[in-house]
Structure 1
Amino acid sequence: MRNVLLVDDEPLIVKGMQSIIDWNANHLQIADTACNGVEALAKLDGLAVDLVITDIMMPQMTGLELIREVKVRSPLTKFIILSGYEEFNYVREGITLGVENYLLKPVNIDELEATIKHMQHDWETEEVRQIQMDLSWRILRTNILQRWANATIDAKEFRERAQLLEIPLTKSSYCAAALRIVAEHGHGMEDPQFYRPIIAEQCETIGRQHVPDGCEIICFPDQEGDIIVLFASTGREGEEWQYQALCGMKQWIASDTGACVWSVKGQPEQSSLGFPQSCKQVKLWLQNHLLGDSETFIVASDNGSKPAQTDEKWEPAMDQFHKLLRDGKSLEVDRFIDDFFDVQAEHGHMARTPCFNSAIQLMLAAKNLEKTPDYGGVFGPLSRIDTLSGLKRLVKRVVHQTLDTYHATEKDYSPHVMAVLDFVKNYYQEELSLKTLSQKLDLHPNYLGQLFQQEAGTSFSDYVNQYRIERATHLLLYSDKKTAEVATEVGYWDTSYFYRQFKKYAGVSPTELRSMYMKK
């Protein structure tokens, strides 16, 4: 609802204007009235007005003089002029001042409503423009903040942009924190990337409730989807207000999204130049750890970003696990997985690499029972896992998928299909085609392809690629051979084509696979 001020030295005119139309229906309300320009200016000191409807000829101050004064104070206010007679000079000067219309008394209702509708359109257009400007400003600020946090922006460019975007550079202490939102608890929360800027904006609003005088707080999403929090302070206030701010943000996010939220806080740095280092501490901690099942605060440091090395072995008892798989004891398999990871979790926040190594070992042990293992469900999801519980669920899902098929009735293949399977197993390094094999088997290529699809449940080309990727996976995990050597050894002479096929069937690139599984 927008505010209207009526100004006229004739009380009957003022009263009549209040009832001439349904102001509420036009999304307007009469906020106040005045009998002359001086009184109107006095009331405008404490009143936000969107529209002034004023007479021209009034004692002490004319309507045109009033308009000039108001425009200085409130450039966006709109005006409608009223007059008891038509005077060209007044009309001309009103146009110069940018009034919306010049209405003769008695006021024509249709003309007044038409003028108001025109103004409504202008207001709506201005609101959209302001929203777009605000959105553009926020997008620009987020981009600059991300580059600052990653130390990928030139110092001179950053100083210029920081001044424009109101980023503080003269405080005595700068500290970064990250809020990681993890939706792995079965509530089905959708988390599109565009939602993160909205969360960051609300977090900043909540955080400002705890900011002492002389301090500032800024929140923005980074490229991994974490909410980065910048604390800039004079260094005399302590850190309690920062923890209170983070607590308020965590509570709001959890309530709004239904997800779990973890907070990692870096060490304070003595100038804005140190903020990227504080960010790096936080991101390294998240990169090197799996989060537990309870929300908490963590304080990261240069020494604490990497998990402490322990002498304990992370290797699961694979002989026992293989036997459970062969026996098909699903409940005991689940218990084995839970017990192994729960024992490791007793040491606190778990190091990501040994956890992933053990998980990959367990999943590959199951996949090796399959005739044509598909690794897409093994490695692809690993990059999206942040919690120990999420890792356990992935391992169980992969293992159960294998058990469901492995212990089903063994399928008998026809001699022709069995010959094709054996040929792929023995000669997968070479160039293979149905045309070549069909000649060896004295069959038409189309018939052999249909027979293979029917019995194996996949096309010949897919089977060959899956088998080659299976062999490549073992070489990547358990040898030091270069990726190009691995590609050649499994039958891919074009390394770029090997990369594409590997990503298609395994869900990750060869490089990403090796980074997930760090050999001891």
Structure 2
Amino acid sequence: MRSVMLVDDEPLIVKGMQAIIDWDQNNMQIAGTACNGLEALAMMDEVPVDLIITDIMMPQMTGLELIRETKARNPYTKFIILSGYEEFKYVREGISLGVENYLLKPVNMDELEATIKHMQRDWEHEEMRQIQMDQSWRILRNNILQRWANETIDAKEFRERAQMLEIPMNKSTYCAASLRIVGDDRGDDPQIYLPGIAEQCEQIGNKGLPDGCGVICFPDQDGDIMLLFVSAGTEGSAEWQLQALNRMKQAVVEDTGARVWGIMGQSESTYLGFPKSCKSVKLWLQNHLFIDCNTFIMQVENEEATNQHQEKPGPAMEQFHKLLRDGEGTEVDRFIDEFFIAEGKEPCLPRTPFFNSAIQLMLAAKELEKTPDYGDIFGPLSRIHTLSKLKQLVRKVVHRTLDTYHTAEKTYSPHIMSVLEVVKNHYQDELSLKTLSQRLELHPNYLGQLFQQEVGTTFSDYVNQYRIERATHLLLYSDKKTAEIAGEVGYWDSTYFYRQFKKYAGVSPTELRSIYMKK
């Protein structure tokens, strides 16, 4: 609501102005009244106003003098002049001072209300421009902070941008932290606007900090809120940082209803060390799975305490293969549930052994499919941060396979059986419907339609899926280079192989190998 001050040396005029206009309906309120310019200025020292409606001729300080003095203090204040003087010199001076309107007494109320509505539209436009400027500033700052954290900005550009964007460069300590936001076990991760959450965290985190200390928050490409803690001294930094991190964590929990984990990195003595601190936080997150029932705040330097547990053995694959072949859905669920039980009281678990085992179980199920789609395995893995979500993914993939595998076995026509046999034995060679149709003495279009009708996918998709299946096994269980694997499965252009693998598996060959880390 906008605030208004009425300034006139005639009390009846002031009272009339207060009563004659419905200020609430115009989203305004009377902040005060004054009988001359000096009194108005004194009041504005205590209560700033958006609009001043003033007379011209008043004792001690005229309305025009009041306007000049107020403009010097706050150039955004707007003015309407009410005067009994129609002399041109007053009108001209009022216009030169940028008043909204010059109205003669007795006031035409329609004209006054029209002037007020015009000002409201101006205010709305100004607010929108300010919001757009603020958003542009934050977008630019977030981009620079992300590049700084990832070390993808050169030193000169960063120094120039940091000064403009108020990123401190002369503090005594720089420490990175992260808030990881994860949905509950029943659904997907919460749909939130990360830049807005980061802005809210920054406001909360900066409340009540010691002198010379501050927090800057920004979202990163992994969906985490990254935090930069800075302080002018080194003593007591850990205490206020953990308190601020806990306040921000709790605020995100209350705002989103999600579970939030806080990870604090190592402190560095200059701004040049901030990327190193960020890396320590992101590496910790990359290497751990959270136990769903507990959220916590942890410092990376205390990580050793979380790793005092034995290496988890892999699943009993022979038993699992038998359960899959027998179609024992209930027993399969029991096997998966028992394997993914968190033993001990650790607040988190090493990610690699659990991810490796999950991939083994899902690939075992995929081996039962004639045209396996690996996109529903590897694509979601990068978004999984808790043990329960990993277990849910394994159960989902395995059950999808069981639902199709144990239905009636599909019987193919002799022509399609011949095509499938050729793909199985010669997938590494150049294959086309034209060549196969000549061998089978069929028209290529007819063979393509027959293949899609019986197999449920196009010939091209089937061949690509088969090749990607073979490539997946080589990537996971051999040390061969990606280019070598591409050639072995029928792709002579490595770039094309990368595109096709990403399309069908949901991740690149490099990303797949980083997900499934060999022991």
TM tier, smaller: over 0.9
Structure 2 partner of 1:74: 74
Cα deviation for residue 382 of structure 1 reads: 1.2
Give the Cα separation in 2 of the matches to 1:268 and 1:68: 52
Instruction: Describe how 1:427-466 pairs up with structure 2 within 5 A.
Output: 427-466=426-465
Structure 2 partner of 1:386: 385
Structure 2 partner of 1:107: 107
Structure 1 partner of 2:224: 226
Give the Cα separation in 2 of the matches to 1:183 and 1:227: 15
Instruction: Describe how 1:45-444 pairs up with structure 2 within 5 A.
Output: 45-188=45-188, 190-191=190-191, 195-233=193-231, 234-293=233-292, 294-301=294-301, 304=303, 312=311, 314-342=313-341, 349-444=348-443
Structure 1 104/343 Cα, relative in aligned 2: closer, same or farther at 3 Å? closer
Is the CA contact (8 Å cut-off) linking 1:211 and 1:217 kept in structure 2? no
CA offset digits 1:137-173 (Å, max 9, x no partner): 2222222222232233333443343333232333322
Structure 1 partner of 2:474: 475
Cα deviation for residue 188 of structure 1 reads: 4.6
Structure 1 358/210 Cα, relative in aligned 2: closer, same or farther at 3 Å? farther
Letter in 2 for 1:512: E
Give the Cα separation in 1 of the matches to 2:224 and 2:348: 19
Is the CA contact (8 Å cut-off) linking 1:83 and 1:103 kept in structure 2? yes
TM-score, normalising length: structure 2 = 0.94
Structure 2 partner of 1:43: 43
Any idea what SS the aligned residue of 2:125 has? helix
Letter in 2 for 1:201: E
Cα deviation for residue 242 of structure 1 reads: 2.1
Return 122-131 or 242-251, whichever deviates more. Answer: 242-251
Any idea what SS the aligned residue of 1:440 has? helix
Any idea what SS the aligned residue of 1:268 has? strand
Any idea what SS the aligned residue of 1:4 has? strand
Letter in 2 for 1:199: I
Any idea what SS the aligned residue of 1:82 has? strand
CA offset digits 1:229-288 (Å, max 9, x no partner): 222222223423222222222222122222211111012222333222221111110111
Give the Cα separation in 1 of the matches to 2:57 and 2:162: 50
Structure 1 500/158 Cα, relative in aligned 2: closer, same or farther at 3 Å? closer
Structure 1 261/311 Cα, relative in aligned 2: closer, same or farther at 3 Å? closer
Any idea what SS the aligned residue of 1:209 has? coil
Give the Cα separation in 2 of the matches to 1:187 and 1:395: 15
Is the CA contact (8 Å cut-off) linking 2:172 and 2:269 kept in structure 1? yes
Percent pairwise identity: 73
Cα deviation for residue 322 of structure 1 reads: 1.2
Is the CA contact (8 Å cut-off) linking 2:190 and 2:258 kept in structure 1? no
CA offset digits 1:65-106 (Å, max 9, x no partner): 111111112211111112212111111111111111111111
Structure 1 252/371 Cα, relative in aligned 2: closer, same or farther at 3 Å? same
Instruction: Describe how 1:8-27 pairs up with structure 2 within 5 A.
Output: 8-27=8-27
Return 410-419 or 387-396, whichever deviates more. Answer: 410-419
RMSD of equivalent CA atoms: 2.2
Cα deviation for residue 201 of structure 1 reads: 1.0
Return 98-107 or 130-139, whichever deviates more. Answer: 130-139
TM-score, normalising length: structure 1 = 0.94
Structure 2 partner of 1:491: 490
CA offset digits 1:2-26 (Å, max 9, x no partner): 1111111112222222233322222
Is the CA contact (8 Å cut-off) linking 2:307 and 2:349 kept in structure 1? no
Give the Cα separation in 2 of the matches to 1:307 and 1:500: 39
Any idea what SS the aligned residue of 1:380 has? helix
Give the Cα separation in 1 of the matches to 2:116 and 2:191: 42
Structure 1 165/429 Cα, relative in aligned 2: closer, same or farther at 3 Å? closer
Give the Cα separation in 2 of the matches to 1:379 and 1:67: 67
Cα deviation for residue 433 of structure 1 reads: 2.0
Structure 1 500/331 Cα, relative in aligned 2: closer, same or farther at 3 Å? same
Give the Cα separation in 2 of the matches to 1:426 and 1:103: 93
CA offset digits 1:317-338 (Å, max 9, x no partner): 1111111111222222222222
Cα deviation for residue 300 of structure 1 reads: 0.7
CA offset digits 1:443-474 (Å, max 9, x no partner): 33333323222222222222111111111111
Is the CA contact (8 Å cut-off) linking 2:306 and 2:347 kept in structure 1? no
Structure 1 32/197 Cα, relative in aligned 2: closer, same or farther at 3 Å? same
Is the CA contact (8 Å cut-off) linking 2:215 and 2:227 kept in structure 1? yes
Return 314-323 or 159-168, whichever deviates more. Answer: 159-168
Letter in 2 for 1:130: Q
Return 147-156 or 257-266, whichever deviates more. Answer: 147-156
Give the Cα separation in 1 of the matches to 2:240 and 2:396: 43
Cα deviation for residue 205 of structure 1 reads: 1.8
Structure 1 484/170 Cα, relative in aligned 2: closer, same or farther at 3 Å? closer
Cα deviation for residue 347 of structure 1 reads: 5.8
Structure 2 partner of 1:5: 5
Q: In structure 1, list runs of 5 or more residues that go unmatched.
A: none
Any idea what SS the aligned residue of 1:168 has? coil
Structure 1 491/272 Cα, relative in aligned 2: closer, same or farther at 3 Å? closer
Give the Cα separation in 2 of the matches to 1:403 and 1:246: 45
Give the Cα separation in 1 of the matches to 2:261 and 2:221: 17
Any idea what SS the aligned residue of 2:207 has? helix
- Count of residues in Structure 1 that have an aligned counterpart in Structure 2: 517
Letter in 2 for 1:67: I
Letter in 2 for 1:140: L
Return 438-447 or 451-460, whichever deviates more. Answer: 438-447
Letter in 1 for 2:62: T
Structure 1 337/28 Cα, relative in aligned 2: closer, same or farther at 3 Å? same
